Chains A and B, each alone.
Chain A
Amino acid sequence: MKSGRIAHDTAVPGVKIILRATLFTVVLGAAAIAPALLAQTSAVDEIAKYRAALQDGNPAELWEARGEGIWQQKRGPKQATLEQCDIGLGPGVVKGAYARLPRYFADADRVMDLESRLLWCMATIQGFSDADSRKQLFGNGNDRKSDMEALVAYVTSESRGTPMNVGIAHPKEAEMYRVGERIFYFRGGPHDFGCVTCHGDDAKRIRLQELPNLTTKEGAQKAYTTWPAYRVSQGELRSFQWRLYDCFRQQRFPELIFGSDASIALTTFLARNANGAPFDAPAIKR
């Protein structure tokens, strides 16, 4: 992605930290660890303030509006809308549906998350070929916007405020949850890395980006309920599939295939761990 841009964004607060830490060290002398912590906390506070300032006028609304249009538009070889698409609560029911996903769908005989379900609806209802529906799964940060990300923005926005409630009553759902848990704790790749390496402890960061501890209830809830999100540094709305795709890239894992069982398993694991918390996305993130 645009790593250069991200580095640029964080460069200035990063400098601030070093300066502050030095200052405190001079003043406090021996207590060298405390000032570093202090500076870190204040930087995180500043980012929280930045985020709060952006909350009003979240550009995600532009994606939501575009996604609603695409949802209602006759598209594909069959010239059908997605309004007959059943994403779990019956054909065309969008309200609150995302808070129950991923779930088992009998017609596909498979556990699906929102994105894989949308691909399924595009194929069965609208007649798109797999290649056509996968043409632009992620926006490129410039002129090429993703219809998939717009649809995700629209559908998820209709679950805002609905408490997360992902079940594992069906054996296939339970299996997906267990597989997702295994993947979460699995370490591998050239860096002997796993999801748990970054997301298994409190107060870890990548540069200034604090990372949620996904092994705790609060951490999982806070993280899962704020995706998808508009990423200011990328100028794009990012889906949860994108989040996992990019986590895999950051871990130097093999490329995560969009809508694959591995991605759905991880989503099931994280979504269920967030149960009980009100869904609050599309959000805005740096």
Chain B
Amino acid sequence: MADPMKIRANVTGDTTEVKVLMSHEMETGQRKDAQGKTIPAWFIQSVTATWNGKTVLAAQWGPAVSKNPFLSFKFKGGAKGDKVLITWVDNRGDKRTDEATIA
């Protein structure tokens, strides 16, 4: 199973800023290993963020996103103590969901 994400969420005024650090190889499928064999592509394909059950961000990612990706976004709303849920699914079907409390 994948390592947990690091999520920070802070509200200022009516806007919540979320910063997510994900642990993922994000293999492009373009690289070759020491034996010259292509390393198969392995990357996060979809990312969703929900706040109080409502989707605030939905993204489709490809192999151009870096290893151990960092995602930062803002959404209107949110209050201290609310939960933000981030889920990613990669092209192997692995998924991971982590939760953070808005501070």
B-contacting residues of A (Cβ < 8 Å)?
A: 56-59, 61-62, 65-66, 142-143, 232, 235
Residues of B within 8 A of A142 (CB): 25, 39
- Cα distance, A59 to B3, chains bound together (Å): 12
A57 touches B21 (CB 8 A): yes
A59 touches B68 (CB 8 A): yes
Of all chain B residues, the one with the shortest Cβ separation from A2 is B31
Which bucket holds chain B's interface residue count? 10 to 19
One of B3, B19, B66 near A56 (C-beta < 8 A) = B19
A62 touches B68 (CB 8 A): yes
One of A56, A59, A65 near B4 (C-beta < 8 A) = A65
B3 touches A62 (CB 8 A): yes
- Cα distance, A235 to B4, chains bound together (Å): 17
Of all chain B residues, the one with the shortest Cβ separation from A234 is B67
Residues of A within 8 A of B66 (CB): 232
Given A56-B19, A59-B21, A142-B25: A65 and B3 interface contact (C-beta under 8 Å)? yes
Give 9 new A-B contacts, CB below 8 A, not counting A57-B21, A143-B25, A235-B68: A56-B72, A57-B70, A59-B21, A59-B23, A59-B67, A59-B70, A61-B6, A65-B6, A232-B66
Majority secondary structure, A binding face? loop
Given A62-B3, A65-B3, A235-B67: A57 and B72 interface contact (C-beta under 8 Å)? yes
B67 touches A62 (CB 8 A): no
- Cα distance, A169 to B10, chains bound together (Å): 47
Question: How far is the CB of A124 from the nearest CB of chain B, in Å?
Answer: 29
B21 touches A62 (CB 8 A): yes
- Cα distance, A62 to B39, chains bound together (Å): 23
Residues of B within 8 A of A65 (CB): 3-4, 6
Question: How far is the CB of B21 from the nearest CB of chain A, in Å?
Answer: 5
Question: How far is the CB of B20 from the nearest CB of chain A, in Å?
Answer: 8
Question: How far is the CB of B94 from the nearest CB of chain A, in Å?
Answer: 13
Question: How far is the CB of B96 from the nearest CB of chain A, in Å?
Answer: 13
- Cα distance, A66 to B66, chains bound together (Å): 20
Interface centre among A59, A65, A66 (most CB of B within 10 A): A59
